[in-house]
Amino acid sequence: MAGILTDKKIIVMGVANKHSIAWGCAQAMAAQGATIIYTYQNERLKRSVSRLVKATDNLVECDVADDNSIQDAFSTIKQRFGTVDGIVHAVAYAKKDELGGSILDASRDGYALAQDISSYSLIAVAKAASQFKLLTNPASIVTLTYFGSERAIPNYNVMGIAKAALEASVRYLARDLGPAGVRVNAISAGAIKTLAVTGIKGHGELLKMSEDRTADGNSVTLEQIGNTCAFLMSDLSTGVVGDVIYVDKGVHLI
């Protein structure tokens, strides 16, 4: 039986290792028939991703902090694959010393860096995809956010503010890319143990608090988040535009 993403080509940005939410999304989409194109930031991360992905033609370097790198990456993808049907943006970063204590201790540079990598990069990626006429009609862009965008989660600090900006960016991009048949949405994923989460001070307490607040007492899984991403990438979701979909097993309800 054909999957809901058969014959679709999708870019996944942000795989660091097998515990990454981006990897969960890639696995779920591949299971539904999609061809996955992976971007990586640098040679160190390429080695990590290469342990998971054997098709070297499907690996493309892209540092979202560098507009020239984004341009080069999307030019390469256009040459190798033609058009693509979607982009998963699962990229975020803040300095570790910005993810603890009081927001009053946030530095100007640390704040700006978190906004640049975690929020503006979505706009930069969407802009380049539009310039290269890379996306089909219909197409889908999905980014990853977190509940800390709307609640003052302990220690999340500048990242929570960056995620709030990211969600606002989703709405504006959905408005401006809609005429081209490109829908833009975000998944607000529940807290699970990833490389990104372990950078937050007291992350063990955060994970325990999140699990305790789920509807069934069990944390959300990579597979569950990935399956929602697969749906949002499929033509089954063409009516879902500019939205934030919670995949946290009810944590945001409490």
Alpha-carbon gap, residue 28 to 51, rounded angstroms: 18
Per the residue annotation, which of 120, 146, 172, 246 is the catalytic one?
A: 146
Check the annotation: does 103 bind a ligand. no
Is position 63 annotated in a ligand binding site? yes
Catalytic residue among 38, 40, 111, 156: 156
Catalytic annotation on 38?
Answer: no
6 is in an annotated binding site: no
Does the annotation place 192 within a ligand binding site? yes
Q: Is 15 annotated as a binding residue?
A: no
Q: Which uninterrupted H or E stretch holds 144?
A: strand 135-145
Q: Is 116 annotated as a binding residue?
A: no
Strands, sheet with 59-61, edge to edge from the N-terminal-most edge strand: 59-61, 35-40, 9-13, 84-89, 135-145, 182-189, 244-247
Q: Is 230 annotated as a binding residue?
A: no
57 carries a ligand binding annotation: no
Q: Is 146 a catalytic residue?
A: yes
CA angle 151, 155, 159 (to 5 degrees): 70
**What tokens were used for 12?**
């996944």
Q: State how far the Cα of 234 lies from the Cα of 208, in Å rounded to an integer.
A: 33
Say which amino acid occupies 107: S
117 assigned to a ligand binding site? no
Say if residue 139 carries a ligand binding annotation.
Answer: no
How far, in Å, CA of 46 to CA of 35, rounded? 19
Q: Could you give the CA distance from residue 145 to residue 166 in angstroms, rounded to a whole number?
A: 7
193 is in an annotated binding site: yes
78 backbone dihedrals φ, ψ, rounded to 5°: -60, -45
Task: Tell me which residues are annotated as active site.
Answer: 146, 156
Residues at the binding site for substrate are: 94
Residues at the binding site are: 14, 20-21, 41, 63-64, 91, 94, 163, 192-196
Residues at the binding site for NAD(+) are: 14, 20-21, 41, 63-64, 91, 163, 192-196
